[in-house]
Amino acid sequence: MSDTRKWMVLFAVAALGFFIYKISAILTPFLVATILAYLTNSWVVFLQRLHLGRTLSVVIVFLALFGLFILSLIFLIPALEQQVINLLQALPNIIARVKEDILPWAASHFNLNMDWEENPWQDTLQSTLQTHWKQAGQYIPTLFKTFAGSSLVVIGFFTSLLLIPVVLFYLLRDWDRLLQAIHLLIPRRIEPITIRLLKECDAVLSGFLRGQLLVMMGLGILYSVGLSLFHINWALLIGVIAGILSIVPYLGFIVGLTSALIAAFFQFHDWPHLLYVVLVFVIAQSIEGALLTPYLVGDRIQLHPVAVIFAVLAGGTLFGFFGILLALPVAAVIMVFVRYLRDRYIKSNLYAKNSS
């Protein structure tokens, strides 16, 4: 490739990056729709194998997704909202319990010299929560009015929300055509190796994404049901948060176990329920390690847990919430190319000369 062509390619890539950056504010619905289409295209293919047309298969998958969304709005979201409200209501009593029992116990057992009269922050915090937690609901209408007062914000929000199902439908319907169009753009000279790498990326990425989502869902259900069996307060809230955080190795387990132990302690004030909580999380982790992860995820991503943690933290630091969501899929794709480059290096003369 001549220097002129190299500069033209570099300029085109830079221009494309600048263009994407400038329109990044409107890319969210398209990105969400593309991810959903990628994850659900296999469902459409499965229905097509049952001799259904592509459009009919897309309609069935689309209605199934819409039904799941409606069910979550009807059952899951209100239940989580109620548990959050209950948690806010219980905070003043929790703080009072800490002040009256736990802090004096800690002071006596650890030889801490604490003059409670000179540290009025406990009373201030408790009284503030007791006085103002009920007023928190009054801010919601105010925020809604402020939000509704900006017509551009409202229009932009609902436009993005409505765009997701529209874009998703057309992407699913024309997914094969889009892939074929991209295939035709690949230079013939590098087509074989490009197709091979793309297929490896697809196998790793699709399997890992679907498997990891199922593992997170399974852990959330196990935690929530297990804690509910022992009547632990906020079982659903703790289970959902722990399930979501389980995308990072051990983070969901640590956060969920700690939260559940605190909730059980302040609710029952005894040791047996603490042991029940530990039992729930140990059983859930055993099921996850023996069944969920091996069968749903396997070793597709082939990343060390430390590398997973680094990828998630790096993604969050660079790109915020979406960076956290995309960190592991991007890391999975990068690993495909790293393994390819490693194989090329081992087969190269450079490696042979170094090893001689």
What is the DSSP annotation of 258-318?
Answer: HHHHHHHHHHH-SHHHHHHHHHHHHHHHHHIIIIIIIIIITTSS---HHHHHHHHHHHHHH
Q: Is residue 87 part of a domain?
A: yes
Q: Is residue 51 part of a domain?
A: yes
Q: Which of 191-200, 264-273, 315-324 has the lowest mean pLDDT?
A: 315-324
Q: Is residue 221 part of a domain?
A: no
| pLDDT recorded at residue 142 | 56
Residue 264 has a CB neighbour count (10 Å cut-off) of: 25
| pLDDT recorded at residue 20 | 72
Backbone angles phi, psi at 187, to 5 degrees: -55, 135
Which own/partner contact pairs does 16-20 have at CB distance under 8 Å and 24+ positions apart? none
Q: Is residue 60 part of a domain?
A: yes
Domain that holds residue 50: 31-114+153-185
Q: How many helices (H) and strands (E) does the chain have?
A: 15, 0
- Taking 60 as the threshold, does the pLDDT of residue 149 lie above it? no
Q: Is residue 322 part of a domain?
A: no
Q: Is residue 204 part of a domain?
A: no
- Taking 70 as the threshold, does the pLDDT of residue 301 lie above it? no
Q: Is residue 82 part of a domain?
A: yes
What percent of the chain shows pLDDT beyond 70? Answer: 79
Q: Tokens 């209950």 map to which residue?
A: 86
User: Looking at the 3D structure of the chain, how many domains does it have?
Assistant: 1
- Taking 70 as the threshold, does the pLDDT of residue 179 lie above it? yes
Q: Is residue 66 part of a domain?
A: yes
| pLDDT recorded at residue 292 | 83
